[in-house]
Structure 1
Amino acid sequence: MRRGPDVRKSAAPEAAGVAHRGMACAPGPVRRRCAEEPDSLMTVELTLRGRQKMVVRDSVLDAALSLFSEVGYQKATMQAIATKAGIGIATLFRHFKTKASVLADLVRRDLEELFSESQTLLDDPPEDPKAGITAFCLLMVTILDKRSKSIRLKPTLWPATSTGRAETDEVVRYADAELRRQLTALVKYYQKNGTISDAFKAPELAAIIFYVYNSYYVEFNFGLIKTRAQLSKKVRESVGVLFESWT
């Protein structure tokens, strides 16, 4: 199997598990065996705190998603989110300073899931660059199917455009940067294979693809493109036109 472009970032200790000098440490009785490994114990404790933080985060996001769907974003309060999540208001504010930051993290969670799916495509891309880039763009459209779709302020438009709020605009920047990063890696992969001309700089080609995708995404959300089938057709046609001068 071909190996696609590796654009994954190094896994954090929380995700990779804990290893220290060849010995893994864990809480409970195993801590005694780690008595001579203070650094390892500290890492275990940090890992556990990180996991506990993620559990609370997901609990809050699930509760907020349910509440936003029930009463709407504007009517939901931080106290109601805390109550639904089964935590105190002080605990909630330790994790999220504002309701907008809860909304932002809901969308970020969906984006992280989406970019993990697109990484799978990057790990083993189709041989045909047109097919690969078209598949990537159409995969990005599935953000519309994610959990946060029903509660966004402008149901599906952001994170394609600025919102005017620091918390949510940070998510817009994250989505923009990660999409461009993955597209650039995909273009470089095809240039290395000789299926896209290396006369062009990969980031510039990726920027053009991004512009085309983003334009159609916005049009679809404004109802100018009526169906997913029409959206898919336009993306395929545009990528085909681009490749007439790239190959």
Structure 2
Amino acid sequence: MEGCPRLPAISFDPKVSIESVDLCEKIPNYITSTYQENGNKYSQECEQMNRLRQTTINSSADENGIQLLKRYYCQLQLLRNRFPMLPDTECAVRFTWEDAFQKEDNTYNDIRFEEACILYNLGAMYSRLGANESRRTHDSIKNACTYFRCAAACYEKVRDQYTTYTSDLTPDLLTCQVHILLAQAHEAVLEKSLLDQRAPSVNAHVAMQISEYYQMALLNLMKPGINSIVSKRFR
């Protein structure tokens, strides 16, 4: 295994949100007018949600950061299911996020945009954790493979379940990222297979899968409009 080249893995940058958001800005009034209940008595819960968002968007790339992103994503879905927070509805608020590649701010008064950005960042954090693994032990190889697969799953969900709000959420670009991540997950599988001294035919089959994923990533990367979005380091 020492003679096998181990290329540095690719990870993806997260999206950035620097503007503070009051998630529950309109919810107390909505509760009062709709349910004839004093909405202000939920001010503590609203403050907790806002603190959770602030902590989440500033979280570090580690297991704690992963758990924060997951928790906040679930809370966003609960909010959307309980209150009208889609565009032009009673409780809609504005969310501003920077494009991960173009570095331009984008704003939508749509909680689904916030969900998509958080899910994208979850994928980015998984990709960073995978890239940070040394892959020199069985456990590290296993961790890298798991992280890359989880990252790919996040980007697939963003692609399949959310609108293309911004250029970094373009389906072809997300598909390119998915293929890169799956290729890297299979590279970890190949490294494990070599360590275990599996049959050459098995190793060759995995290597072919890696090559196919990278070829598919390149095809998506070269589509019109996509190669102008990404950073030069991915060309």
TM bucket by the smaller chain?
A: 0.3 to 0.5
TM-score (norm 1): 0.38
